Chain A
Amino acid sequence: GENVGLHLPTLSVQEGDNSIINCAYSNSASDYFIWYKQESGKGPQFIIDIRSNMDKRQGQRVTVLLNKTVKHLSLQIAATQPGDSAVYFCAENSGYSTLTFGKGTMLLVSP
């Protein structure tokens, strides 16, 4: 069936490095994608989103890239900080008002 998945379950980086978290999706009809950050003991927090009519969108220290040809989504975090340590989820719209979520990638940032 259609699903959203993540290539790497855990990503470890050094403080100051750039981080890239990847996501594959299989529903070619999806036209909206979103990244969430979830810290321990908290709910998912919106980071950035992108619609399928774009291939890149930038926020503060974060960039989302969308490659519709290979159905791939990535989240780039510049100058990663210890406070960025969390689980990151991608999600795609999957029907009436609903999102389908990936399993998540744990980002560990070492000082």
Chain B
Amino acid sequence: ETGVTQTPRHLVMGMTNKKSLKCEQHLGHNAMYWYKQSAKKPLELMFVYSLEERVENNSVPSRFSPECPNSSHLFLHLHTLQPEDSALYLCASRAGGETDTQYFGPGTRLTVL
């Protein structure tokens, strides 16, 4: 276990549904990340939060809405998604400062029907 947990592990939703992905880190880190992993493509960075402030939004459509209520929790709110949004969504955390190493959760496998 890496100390980063994600729920749910699997999610199937229709295009009109609203759902949320949750990430929690137990490492005392102060930076958290959302990534999208699609088949045969490199990991795509979506959002970066540092000390609960969003420091990067990598041109992600507004149907994805992140929330970071504190340094241990990160959410990704989903609304009116498209079938092409089906992917593995990974959360990662980093200690902060000069440390570059990111530690990943197990991911949420999302299927949009």
Q: Which residues of B contact A (CB under 8 A)?
A: 2, 4, 6, 31, 40-43, 45, 48, 50, 55-56, 90, 92, 94, 100-107
Contacts and interface: CB of A to CB of B under 8 A. Distances in A.
A41 B41 CA distance: 16
Among A36, A98, A104, chain B packs the most CB atoms within 10 A around the CB of A98
B107 A43 contact: yes
Interface string A67-111: 000000000000000000000010001001111111110000000
Say whether chain A's binding surface is mostly helix, strand, loop, or mixed: strand
Contacts of A103: 40-42
A99 B101 CA distance: 9
Interface of A: 4, 32, 34, 36, 41-46, 49, 89, 93, 96-104
A96 B2 contact: no
Given A96-B55, A96-B56, A97-B50, A102 B104 contact: no
A96 B98 CA distance: 10
A42 B31 CA distance: 21
18 contacts: A34-B102, A43-B4, A43-B6, A43-B92, A43-B105, A44-B43, A44-B90, A49-B100, A49-B101, A89-B43, A96-B55, A97-B48, A97-B50, A97-B55, A97-B94, A98-B48, A100-B42, A101-B43
B48 A46 contact: no
Contacts of B107: 42-43
